[in-house]
Structure 1
Amino acid sequence: MIWLALSWFVLLIESMATDYENKRPETDITVDWAIFLFASFAVFMVGIAMGTVEVLWLGKQFKSKSFGRKILYKMGFYLLFMLVINCITFPLAASIEMGTSILDNGVWDKFSHYIVSSTFLSTMVSLSFSIFVSLLYSGISEHLGHDVLLNFFSGKYHRPQAETRIFMFLDMKSSTSLAEQLGHQTYFQFLRDYYNQLSDAIIQFKGEVYQYVGDEIVISWKKEEGVSHQNCIQCFYAMKERLRKKSSYFEKKYGVVPSFRAGMHMGQVTTGEIGALKKEIFFTGDVLNVTARIQKLCKTYGKELLLSGQLKDVLDEKGPINFEPMGTMELEGRKEPAALFYPAYP
Structure 2
Amino acid sequence: MKFKSIRRWKIVRDYIVGWTLAFLFLSIIRGVGTIEMSSISFEFWDSIMVSSIFGFFFGSISGYAQILTEERIYGRISFRNLIAFRIIFAILFLFLLIVVSYFMAITFFGETKGLIDFIIEPGSPAIYLYILSIDFFFLILRQMQLLIGESNLGKLLHGRFYTPREEHRIFMFLDLQSSTQHAERLGHIKYSKMIQDCFNDLGVVIENEAEVYQYVGDEVILTWELKKGLRNQNCINAFFNFKERLKKKQKRYQKRYNCLPFFKAGLNSGVVIVTEVGKYKKEIAYHGDTINTAARIQGKCNEFKQELLISRNLKEQLGSSKFVFNELGIIALKGKEEDVAILSVHKVNGQL
TM range (shorter): 0.7 to 0.9
The one-letter code of the counterpart of 1:281 is: I
| Matching residue of 2:205 | 202
How many pairs are equivalent?
Answer: 331
1:311 to 314, 325, 330: 314
Deviation at 1:292, TM superposition (A): 0.7
Quick one: structure 1 residues 37 and 320, their matched pair in 2 at CA, closer, same or farther if it must change by over 3 Å?
A: farther
Deviation at 1:246, TM superposition (A): 1.3
Normalised TM-score (structure 1): 0.86
- After superposition, what is the alpha-carbon deviation per residue over 1:242-301, rounded to whole angstroms, capped at 9, x for unaligned? 111111111101111111000000011111111233211111100111001110111122
| Matching residue of 1:271 | 274
- After superposition, what is the alpha-carbon deviation per residue over 1:291-341, rounded to whole angstroms, capped at 9, x for unaligned? 011101111222111111211222264x64453433333323334332222
Identical counterparts, % of pairs:
31
The one-letter code of the counterpart of 2:22 is: L
- After superposition, what is the alpha-carbon deviation per residue over 1:37-78, rounded to whole angstroms, capped at 9, x for unaligned? 342132133222212221233675354655x98556413322
| Matching residue of 1:103 | none
| Matching residue of 1:9 | 25
Q: Tell me if structure 2 keeps the 8 A contact 1:271–1:284.
A: yes
| Matching residue of 2:164 | 160
| Matching residue of 2:6 | none
The one-letter code of the counterpart of 2:315 is: K
The one-letter code of the counterpart of 1:219 is: L
Q: Tell me if structure 1 keeps the 8 A contact 2:21–2:55.
A: no
- CA–CA distance in 2 between the matches of 1:62 and 1:170? 23
**Aligned to 1:118, what secondary structure does the other structure show?**
coil
Quick one: structure 1 residues 130 and 303, their matched pair in 2 at CA, closer, same or farther if it must change by over 3 Å?
A: same
- CA–CA distance in 2 between the matches of 1:163 and 1:276? 23
Deviation at 1:131, TM superposition (A): 0.7
Matched, 1:45 2:57: yes
- CA–CA distance in 2 between the matches of 1:336 and 1:313? 18
* RMSD of aligned alpha carbons: 2.5
| Matching residue of 1:336 | 338
- CA–CA distance in 1 between the matches of 2:18 and 2:81? 22
The one-letter code of the counterpart of 2:264 is: R
Matched, 1:302 2:305: yes
Matched, 1:33 2:35: no
The one-letter code of the counterpart of 1:338 is: V
- After superposition, what is the alpha-carbon deviation per residue over 1:96-154, rounded to whole angstroms, capped at 9, x for unaligned? 4x4xxxxxxx3454766422312432332121011110111122233333233333322
| Matching residue of 1:82 | 94
**Aligned to 1:313, what secondary structure does the other structure show?**
helix
| Matching residue of 1:327 | 329
Quick one: structure 1 residues 325 and 52, their matched pair in 2 at CA, closer, same or farther if it must change by over 3 Å?
A: farther
Deviation at 1:34, TM superposition (A): 4.8
- CA–CA distance in 2 between the matches of 1:50 and 1:262? 37
Task: List aligned pairs for 1:1-346, cutoff 5 A.
Answer: 1-18=17-34, 23-24=36-37, 26=39, 28-57=40-69, 60-63=72-75, 70=82, 73-92=85-104, 95-96=107-108, 98=109, 106-107=110-111, 109=113, 113-199=117-203, 201-315=204-318, 317=320, 320-345=322-347, 346=351
- CA–CA distance in 1 between the matches of 2:26 and 2:47? 15
- CA–CA distance in 1 between the matches of 2:72 and 2:319? 33
**Aligned to 2:212, what secondary structure does the other structure show?**
strand
- CA–CA distance in 2 between the matches of 1:204 and 1:248? 24
Quick one: structure 1 residues 128 and 6, their matched pair in 2 at CA, closer, same or farther if it must change by over 3 Å?
A: same
Listed as ranges, the gaps of 5+ residues in structure 2 are 1-16
Deviation at 1:14, TM superposition (A): 1.7
Quick one: structure 1 residues 109 and 290, their matched pair in 2 at CA, closer, same or farther if it must change by over 3 Å?
A: same
- CA–CA distance in 2 between the matches of 1:126 and 1:13? 12
Quick one: structure 1 residues 316 and 53, their matched pair in 2 at CA, closer, same or farther if it must change by over 3 Å?
A: farther
**Aligned to 1:146, what secondary structure does the other structure show?**
coil
Q: Tell me if structure 2 keeps the 8 A contact 1:274–1:282.
A: yes
**Aligned to 2:300, what secondary structure does the other structure show?**
helix
Quick one: structure 1 residues 244 and 108, their matched pair in 2 at CA, closer, same or farther if it must change by over 3 Å?
A: farther
Normalised TM-score (structure 2): 0.85
- CA–CA distance in 2 between the matches of 1:24 and 1:277? 45
- CA–CA distance in 2 between the matches of 1:202 and 1:215? 17
**Aligned to 1:287, what secondary structure does the other structure show?**
helix
Q: Tell me if structure 2 keeps the 8 A contact 1:91–1:108.
A: no
Quick one: structure 1 residues 324 and 206, their matched pair in 2 at CA, closer, same or farther if it must change by over 3 Å?
A: same
Q: Tell me if structure 2 keeps the 8 A contact 1:166–1:265.
A: yes
The one-letter code of the counterpart of 2:282 is: K
Quick one: structure 1 residues 37 and 227, their matched pair in 2 at CA, closer, same or farther if it must change by over 3 Å?
A: farther
